[in-house]
Amino acid sequence: MPTLLEMRGINKVFPGVRALDQVNLTVEQGEIHAICGENGAGKSTLMKVLSGVYPHGSYEGEIFYEGALLQNRGIRDSEGKGIIIIHQELALVPLLSIAENLFLGHEVAKNGVINWPQAFQMTGALLKKVGLDEVPTTQVGKLGVGKQQLIEIAKALAKDVRLLILDEPTAALQENDSQKLLDLMLELKAQGVTQIIISHKLNEISRVADRITIIRDGTTVSTLRKDEISEERIIRDMVGRDMAHRYPDRVPNPGDVLMKVEGWNVWHPEQTGRQMIKDAAFHVRKGEIVGIAGLMGTGRTELAMSIFGHSYGRNISGTVKMGGKVVDTSSVTRAVDAGLAYVTEDRKHLGLILEEPILKNISLANLAGIAAKGVLNKAREQQVAEEYRRAMSIRTPGVFQKVVNLSGGNQQKVVLSKWLFTDPQVLILDEPTRGIDVGAKFEIYSIMNDLVAQGRGVVMISSEMPELLGMCDRIYVMNEGRIVGELTKAEASPERIMALILKNEKAKVA
Amino acid sequence: MAETQKGIGAHLGGHLRENGMILALLAIVVFFTAIVGMQDIDFLSAQNITNLFLQNSYVIIMALGMLLVIVAGHIDLSVGSVVGFTGAVAAVLTVNMGWPVWAVIPACLAIGAAIGAAQGYWIAYWRIPSFIVTLAGMLVFRGLTLWLLNGQNIGPFPKSFQSLSTGFIPDLFGDADQALLGMERLNGTAVLVVVIAALIIVWLGWRARARDAAFGVTPEPSLMFAIRNIVVAAALIFVGYKLATFRGLPNVVIVLSVLTVLYAFFTESTTAGRRIYALGGNEKAAKLSGINTEKLVFLTFVNMGVLAALAGMIVAARLNSSTPKAGAGFELDVIAAVFIGGASMTGGSGKIIGVVVGALIMGVMNNGMSILGIGIDYQQVIKGLVLLAAVIFDVYNKNK
């Protein structure tokens, strides 16, 4: 197969950091090429060099595309050559229609007057291509993330794409939407569209990719062909070491019941009459990790947030007992006083103040712990931050570093530090390893094991079944706002969890 | 030696904004002293320095509150009208109804608090954008001012009320020190207060530096620390000396200094202050960390109302009458001072000291351009460009 793209010896230096160091990447015509690497390894930087976000001259090295030297001055240049990147954060305007979004910036127009009949017709054709059954006038904001992702792809197709770059396209998607997207990728490949996919999900990569390039610390480690791809090999190249065990060992030692939730009901905050959580009940023991499994949108986050300070929903009823006593969790302060902590799934928007330094983020939920009569003791604040930096091995030049500059894994450790400083009895961790690379995942798991060894209880909400099976002593399965089953570690398997979800679906139909 | 220089360079770069502000203020003062000096007028005369403070006190006082509002991610457009309204209330109470000063001041402050509460309630608990609520407040309180004053000026105020703005701290030493130092008209109290203030500033700086060293924070290079403290202390003592040779320390300067120290302490060293920054930085994260964000937003507006009322009384006392137009456009000066002072438009950052220096920059420019006889038309253009340049400088530095 002829070579479509060749990046040779790419160097990119930011003040104080060498982000890319002699990176080589060759993509052949018509293949799906996966790029793998830990967070901060340089994948996104490399794609920004390719797509012209960093223009020619701001990096060293050469890029050959369709046989010619590529000298992009900006994104428009690369898009003109058919190189289109779909970022992790979707770039759609939620209040505009599908048709308007598809041709944004490239309107079907003559002298600035839009030809709507033609635009709608073209929209229909493009939607058909990506397998989306929607009316062109539908507002994009009313569609789910999965469908929005497909619209992004349709938008790329509208621009006559020859090299499509997808940056973690399935990160926010449910299982079935992810499958649809991967199918579409294979279909586009059949139509001759060359694709680059950046992903953390190894099973997806092995499904669609023809070749895979692994980047570590800003350099290319290896490029493997489909027949050489194995999860162990990929992981070893990514982290630079063998990972014999993906989950740290722990001897389960559950004690008394720490927290017990009974008869928990929650209604949707805006839509009247829509019940989000239906009569949920669960408990956590001392020294126990309890998982909550379920598809996305089944109410796991809503359950956790409604318990933690009634931060979600309305008309909340039910009881929360801590150590046998009913406690009031109706505000975040009361929930924290009762011994609860909630680590959100959305680190950047709900967990951290990105522009503030590490130490201010750590002290935030327990300012009383570093203050006397409302006056802060900054020396104590710094001491506390240093202690957690060591205990959690947060990799940073110092605690005065802004958290926005940290990698996902280190940011998560800052959030965990913040909550541990409130000395909680039970931590609810919502997708604690989302968007975190393999090496840092292992560290987060180890921290969880330390927490239960200290006699705390952990509730882990996760969409990744292997992680739940590997870490949890018990797993609750949720579907449509209900807890539909409970499995012990011995009983649990992916099949049984899916079976519980499906049984509930069938019951609903009948 | 090379190493020290590199340290200083790096430090200057890291604290470009803070040091740059002070340098900019110094440069502007030197500039006007030179230009005005060519017309044989002493820009740094005792009288002009006194005027500078009397003219700009209200901007600085309101900028302290406005910083909190802006840090919390909001804006208050109504402060100019609140200045007019509370001034009018003070005039009606004092002149028409004969209330004594000690009753009028708390009454006006309470009215300011009530106005802040009324606006803050909708902003904090109903999530009505602050721009809209305070734009409405701007119209409402301007209208109420006109109604209350019947479209006319009310004045003059009794001496006791005037002293709010035009009063001076009496010289405790009488003429003894003047005879001693062989100088005429030297206010010993003023000199003493200023020297003590300078010593306290240097001492606090030295203590913070010692603490940093104890906790392993890279300290500011010694040379930088020394230069900055000498400049600040010298400027302070110079201003104090000048004031002492005129009529002494204006009451307003004392109020201003106490409030500045209080707000600097509040923003940097209290849990409530820290929480306002957290809420401005990421409201949702702050809320999920157990911070009562609604109550804090509400209170920042109450605080803003109180400071606007204080400013209103000072303005009325200075003009010695309440006029329907009093305070018109003040909100723009105040907001400009906060942004020149380095606050972020999206909330979450900004320092009290920056805001005070920002307000002084605006004030010195107003004063200098007026002495030069530059028309109000050009003055507006220049002030607008300075605001724009300061913010562009910020954004440029952030993106670099």
Contacting A residues, span 192-211, partner chain B, CB-CB under 8 Å? none
Question: Residue B277 burial (CB < 10 Å; 0-12/13-18/19+)?
Answer: buried
Q: Judge: A350–B215 Cβ closer than 8 Å, yes or no.
A: no
Question: Which regions of chain A carry the CATH code 3.40.50.300?
Answer: 3-239, 257-339+424-509
| More confident: B187 or B380 | B380
Q: Which residues of B touch A360 (CB under 8 A)?
A: 274, 277-278
A418 in contact with B, Cβ within 8 Å: yes
**Residue at A477: amino acid letter:** V
Distance CA A33, CA A208 (A): 9
Neighbours of A25 (CB within 10 A): 20
pLDDT value at residue B345 = 86
Are A265 and A275 in contact by the 8 Å Cβ rule? The answer is yes
User: Is B223's pLDDT higher than 70?
Assistant: yes
B130: left (phi > 0), else alpha (psi -120 to 50), else beta?
A: alpha
| More confident: A415 or B219 | A415
pLDDT value at residue A243 = 47
Q: How far is A53 from chain B (nearest CA, A)?
A: 15
Distance CA A292, CA B84 (A): 60
DSSP labels for B182-233? T-SS--HHHHHHHHHHHHHHHHHHHHHHHHHHHTTPPPPPHHHHHHHHHHHH
Q: Which of A367, A390, A404 to mutate to test the interface with B (most CBs of B within 10 A)?
A: A367
pLDDT value at residue B6 = 44
pLDDT value at residue B209 = 81
Lowest-pLDDT range, A280-284, A462-466, B219-223?
Answer: B219-223
Given B281, B290, B291, which is nearest A356 (Cβ)?
A: B281
Given B217, B271, B282, which is nearest A367 (Cβ)?
A: B271
Q: Which CATH entry fits the domain spanning A3-239: 3.40.50.620, 1.10.3720.10, 2.30.130.60, 3.40.50.300?
A: 3.40.50.300
Here the tokens at position B38 are: 């060519």
pLDDT value at residue A145 = 79
What percentage of chain A exceeds 70 in pLDDT? Answer: 95
Q: Which residues of A touch B282 (CB under 8 A)?
A: 349, 352-354
Q: Judge: A333–B282 Cβ closer than 8 Å, yes or no.
A: no
Q: Residues B89, B90, B94, B100: what is their CA dihedral angle, to the nearest 10 degrees? A: 130
Cβ contacts of A263 within 8 Å, gap of 6 or more: A279, A281, A317, A318, A319
A360 in contact with B, Cβ within 8 Å: yes
Here the tokens at position B273 are: 């202050």
Q: Which of B266, B267, B282 to mutate to test the interface with A (most CBs of A within 10 A)?
A: B282
CA distances from A343 to A308, A365, A412, B114 (A): 10, 12, 9, 39
For chain B, the structural domain boundaries read 42-167+250-399
Q: Judge: A332–B272 Cβ closer than 8 Å, yes or no.
A: no
Mean pLDDT of the residues in chain A: 88
pLDDT value at residue A36 = 85
Banded pLDDT at B216 (limits 50, 70, 90) = low
Lowest-pLDDT range, A39-43, A401-405, B24-28, B164-168?
Answer: A39-43
Are B231 and B22 in contact by the 8 Å Cβ rule? The answer is yes
Q: How far is A210 from chain B (nearest CA, A)?
A: 39
Banded pLDDT at B176 (limits 50, 70, 90) = low
Here the tokens at position B178 are: 């003047």
Inter-chain contacts counted by CB atoms under 8 A, chains A and B: 80
| More confident: A217 or A315 | A315
Mean pLDDT of the region A406-420: 92
Superfamily of A257-339+424-509 according to CATH: P-loop containing nucleotide triphosphate hydrolases (3.40.50.300)
pLDDT value at residue B11 = 53
Query: Tens of pLDDT along B54-84?
Result: 889 999 999 999 999 999 999 999 999 999 9
ipTM of the complex: 0.84
How far, in whole angstroms, is CA A414 from its chain's centroid?
17
User: Is B242's pLDDT higher than 90?
Assistant: no
Query: Tens of pLDDT along A103-152?
Result: 888 888 888 888 889 999 999 999 998 888 888 999 988 888 788 888 99
Distance CA B129, CA B74 (A): 8
Are A66 and A4 in contact by the 8 Å Cβ rule? The answer is yes
Chain B contact residues (CB < 8 Å to A)? 211, 214-215, 217, 269-272, 274-275, 277-278, 281-282, 284-292, 348-349
Q: How far is A363 from chain B (nearest CA, A)?
A: 10
Mean pLDDT of the residues in chain B: 87
Q: How far is B289 from chain A (nearest CA, A)?
A: 5
Mean pLDDT of the region A472-489: 92
User: Is A244's pLDDT higher than 70?
Assistant: no
pLDDT value at residue B184 = 59
User: Is A77's pLDDT higher than 90?
Assistant: no
Q: Judge: A332–B289 Cβ closer than 8 Å, yes or no.
A: yes
Are A233 and A224 in contact by the 8 Å Cβ rule? The answer is yes
Mean pLDDT of the region A201-230: 86
**Three-state DSSP class for residue B292:** coil
Mean pLDDT of the region A257-282: 91
Instruction: Identify which of A87, A135, A138, A80 has the alpha carbon closest to the alpha carbon of residue A106.
Output: A80
Residue A55, CB half-sphere, CA atoms under 13 Å: how many? 6
Mean pLDDT of the region A145-170: 88
pLDDT value at residue A409 = 87
Buried-state track A455-483, b at ≥16 Cβ within 10 A, e below 16: ebbbbbbbbebebbbebbbbbbbbbbbbb
Here the tokens at position A336 are: 């924290």
Mean pLDDT of the region A316-341: 94
Alpha helix (H) ranges present in A159-299? 175-190, 202-208, 231-239
Query: Tens of pLDDT along B318-364?
Result: 999 999 999 999 999 999 999 999 898 888 889 998 999 999 999 99
Here the tokens at position B334 are: 């105040």
Q: Which of B289, B344, B394, B398 to mutate to test the interface with A (most CBs of A within 10 A)?
A: B289
State the fold for domain B42-167+250-399: ABC transporter involved in vitamin B12 uptake, BtuC (1.10.3470)
Chain B: residue nearest A421 by CA?
B289
pLDDT value at residue A40 = 64
Are A429 and A461 in contact by the 8 Å Cβ rule? The answer is yes
pLDDT value at residue B4 = 42
Q: Judge: B285–A378 Cβ closer than 8 Å, yes or no.
A: no
Distance CA A483, CA A299 (A): 10
Chain A: residue nearest B344 by CA?
A355
Q: Judge: A360–B290 Cβ closer than 8 Å, yes or no.
A: no
A380 in contact with B, Cβ within 8 Å: no
Q: How far is B378 from chain A (nearest CA, A)?
A: 38
Residue carrying the six token digits 């975190």: A436
Q: Which residues pair with B131 in a beta bridge?
A: none
User: Is B222's pLDDT higher than 50?
Assistant: yes
Are A338 and A320 in contact by the 8 Å Cβ rule? The answer is yes
Lowest-pLDDT range, A345-349, B150-154, B220-224?
Answer: B220-224
